[in-house]
Structure formats: C-alpha cells, structure tokens
Amino acid sequence: MDDIRKKVGNRIKELRNNIGISQEQLGFKADLDRTYINSVEAGRRNISVVALEKIIKALDTDFEEFFKK
C-alpha cells in the first residue's frame, strides 16, 4: 500500500517541478493546504480521488497524462 502512495506522490512532485511551482503555489491552485501537498508528495497521505483531481487540474494536466508513466 505504501508503494502506491509514494508513486503518486513522486509523480505529483515530478510534474510540479517540471512546471516550476512550489508546494505552496500548487496548494493555492488546487485549493489544498501546502502541508497536505507535502504529505502527499512524501507518500504519507492516502490521497482521495477528489483531491487528486484538484491537484491534476492545478498541474494543468489530465488523468491520462498523470498515469501515463
């Protein structure tokens, strides 16, 4: 179970870094707290589908692209 959380977190961090925004900026765009973004990226949080959708939209991508890797 931890493995999937880490993979999702790493993908969020990768996409966030690719567009050059901070965790705080991503949190603002996704209407989520920076500490939440941090714990998701670290694989410590079991992210909901709703929160994942907010993050994916804030990263200006879609589910297909997010899970492509």
Rounded distance between C-alpha atoms, residue 42 and residue 32, angstroms: 16
CATH code of residue 24: 1.10.260.40
How many independent structural domains does the chain possess? 1
Q: Are 36 and 43 in contact (CB under 8 A)?
A: no
CA 31, 37, 46, 4 torsion-angle sign? positive
* Per-residue tokens: 18: 């690719």
Q: In the block, which residue shows the tokens 């990263």? A: 59
**Angle at 67 (CA atoms; ends 27, 10), nearest 5 degrees:** 50
Q: Is residue 33 part of a domain?
A: yes
Structural domain range at position 38: 2-63
Q: Is residue 40 part of a domain?
A: yes
Global pTM reads: 0.93
Q: Is residue 68 part of a domain?
A: no
Q: pLDDT (tens digit, 9 = 90+) per residue, 45-63?
A: 999 999 999 999 999 999 9
Q: Is residue 34 part of a domain?
A: yes
Rg (CA), the chain: 11
Q: pLDDT (tens digit, 9 = 90+) per residue, 25-43?
A: 999 999 999 999 999 999 9
